[in-house]
Amino acid sequence: MCHVIVTCRSMLWTLLSIVVAFAELIAFMSADWLIGKAKPSSSEDVDNRTGGLQEPYHPTLGIYGRCIRISHMQLSRRDTLCGPYAENFNEIASGFWQATAIFLAVGIMILCAVAFVSVFTMCVQSIMKKSIFNVCGLLQGIAG
């Protein structure tokens, strides 16, 4: 009975470790860190497919990515283009955002390593008389 509880607990921990690592990676890649005010609707904002108004546009900025509205030549249709604005590390918005990028990248690498190791804890639970769970938990705390 006790072994089943430990196995279920380690499976849950493994699953949550993987989910958190991916969530951090998605947050790092997101361009929605700063969201600008909605631009007012105009007659050009009519959706050609439905005939109704498009949703208001919000410019966004992330650590190294952004979303901007671009205008196509054909039919005055507007779309949003998302992608990196920084081609190298020095082009990131500010020193604080550069520090954020460094700390998040290191944290994500640690969380990904822990998620990878946590898969093996199903078979091996200690190395050199040290609990893998304790070591990985400490690493997760540092990464957080």
Report the share of the chain in percent with pLDDT over 90: 6
pTM: 0.67
- pLDDT tens digits, residue range 33-90? 777 777 655 555 555 555 555 566 677 878 878 887 776 544 444 567 788 888 888 8
Does residue 137 belong to any structural domain of this protein?
yes
Does residue 47 belong to any structural domain of this protein?
no
Task: Enumerate the H helices of the chain as residue ranges.
Answer: 2-29, 95-120, 132-143
Does residue 49 belong to any structural domain of this protein?
no
Q: What is the pLDDT of residue 55?
A: 66
DSSP annotation of 47: -
Domain count, the chain: 1
Does residue 130 belong to any structural domain of this protein?
yes
Q: Which two tokens stand for residue 12?
A: 């849950």
Does residue 42 belong to any structural domain of this protein?
no
Does residue 126 belong to any structural domain of this protein?
yes
